């Protein structure tokens, strides 16, 4: 199984889109998306310096555009899982079939402008805490009135909030922890971004998403989201909610992902995955930064993705768990039964109550992948539904 990852803010580099503009149609595509985003994506991706592309209002649509441009040159129909980090979630939502490319770019433009505006309201920032015990680090962050805005994996938690509070935390860090101040405009993924969340919600309310055609993971809790409307709501909420990339990587492991491609500007997420999912069974990784990397990415998909066929053959959809808990199949539903689109095929019992599991499309329940009272993790496959699609 192969996952494609879309990076977030901080991964951009001056001129990183220059080689992509040599491909036919790329510049025209970027100019169209520039009109939607309200920024000059061609200039930002080729001529702008590091300071200019550090601007949140410019960076966010630039990153989403870069991911979507590169993905257009991949056989994405053979990719099973997509995920993005922070604003990268908009790119992942488009690659997963929930949003159109135009909707993703437009939302990225609004998100970037409104988050930049929210940053100007109060003096806030972010700092990375490296090392230490995770529980102790989070407790220290909260003790200073700060927020754990990003949990990017073992030994890397990002604190966000008022600048003076960050200074106090840096002066007295938790045991065995190193604090690095980040050069960002404000406290992203915290309540300080509430005005931006409201503005993004107002625009997102006019979009009609579709249900995902792939497994799309959410930064909120690492779970696979089955419904387009829910994913869009999560994308809006993520503006003020912490990024749980650690849980997304845990779900990649639970799903049995054997290969990963990071879209441009690649490197950051690939590094996190390499550190977190190491040892036996570690996924093979390709960082896609220029068109010269496309052959390696295509080869990885050919070896780890779904095998394409020109002959009519049964195609399968996998119903997955959106939460951790125990699985209970629907009463009377057995392998070989026909299910309709939207039919509830079971539920996951969680501490907050039962979470329904529904079939995305009509077909035949060909195989239960989890059974009565089996413990399941977010994103874990529960049933295989087949049909001639």
CATH code for residues 121-182? 3.30.70.250
User: In this structure, which topology does domain 315-387 adopt according to CATH?
Assistant: OB fold (Dihydrolipoamide Acetyltransferase, E2P) (2.40.50)
Measure the CA–CA gap between 81 and 94, rounded to whole angstroms: 12
pLDDT at residue number 387: 61
Query: Annotated catalytic, 189?
Result: yes
- 11 an active-site residue? no
Q: What is the pLDDT of residue 309?
A: 38
Q: Which of 189, 218, 304, 321 does the annotation list as catalytic?
A: 189
CATH code, 2-118+191-304: 3.40.366.10
Q: In 3D, which of 255, 123, 115 has the Cα closest to residue 195?
A: 115
CB atoms within 10 A of CB 292: 9
pLDDT the model gives residue 3: 96
Q: Is the dihedral of CA 318, 322, 324, 327 positive or negative?
A: negative
Q: Which of 11, 86, 103, 218 is catalytic?
A: 86
Q: What is the mean pLDDT of each run of 10 residues along the chain (389 residues)?
A: 94 95 93 96 96 94 97 93 97 96 97 96 94 93 95 92 95 92 90 96 94 93 90 96 94 92 96 89 94 96 69 58 86 92 89 84 87 82 71
């Amino acid at each position: 199984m192969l996952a494609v990852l879309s990076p977030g803010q901080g991964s951009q580099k001056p001129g990183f889109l220059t080689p992509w503009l040599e491909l036919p149609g790329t510049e025209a595509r970027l100019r169209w998306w520039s009109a939607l985003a309200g920024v000059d994506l061609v200039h930002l991706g080729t001529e702008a310096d590091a300071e200019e592309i550090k601007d949140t209002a410019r960076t966010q649509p630039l990153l989403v555009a870069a991911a979507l441009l590169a993905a257009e040159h991949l056989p994405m129909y053979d990719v099973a899982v997509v995920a993005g980090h922070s604003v990268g979630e908009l790119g992942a939502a488009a690659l997963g079939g929930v949003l159109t490319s135009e909707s993703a770019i437009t939302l990225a433009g609004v998100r970037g402008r409104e988050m930049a505006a929210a940053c100007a309201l109060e003096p806030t920032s972010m700092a990375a805490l490296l090392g230490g015990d995770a529980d102790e680090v989070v407790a220290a962050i909260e003790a200073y009135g700060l927020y754990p805005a990003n949990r990017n994996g073992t030994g890397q938690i990002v604190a966000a909030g008022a600048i003076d509070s960050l200074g106090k935390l840096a002066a007295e860090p938790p045991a065995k922890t190193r604090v690095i101040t980040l050069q960002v405009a404000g406290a992203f993924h915290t309540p300080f971004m509430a005005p931006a969340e409201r503005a993004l919600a107002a625009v997102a309310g006019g979009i009609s998403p579709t249900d995902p055609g792939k497994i799309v993971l959410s930064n909120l809790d690492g779970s696979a989201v089955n419904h387009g409307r829910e994913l869009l709501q999560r994308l809006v909420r993520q503006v003020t909610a912490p990024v749980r990339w650690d849980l997304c990587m845990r779900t990649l492991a639970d799903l049995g992902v054997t290969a990963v491609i990071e879209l441009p500007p690649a490197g950051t997420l690939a590094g996190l995955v390499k550190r977190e999912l190491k040892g036996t069974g570690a996924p093979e990784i390709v960082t896609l930064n220029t068109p010269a990397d496309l052959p390696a990415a295509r080869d990885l998909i050919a070896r780890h993705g779904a095998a394409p066929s020109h002959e009519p053959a049964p195609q399968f959809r996998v119903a997955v768990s959106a939460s951790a808990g125990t699985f209970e199949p629907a009463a009377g539903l057995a392998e070989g039964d026909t299910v309709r689109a939207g039919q509830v095929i079971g539920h996951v019992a969680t501490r907050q109550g039962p979470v329904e599991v529904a079939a995305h499309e009509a077909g035949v329940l060909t195989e239960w992948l989890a059974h009565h009272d089996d413990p399941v993790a977010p994103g874990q496959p529960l049933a295989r539904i087949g049909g001639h699609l």
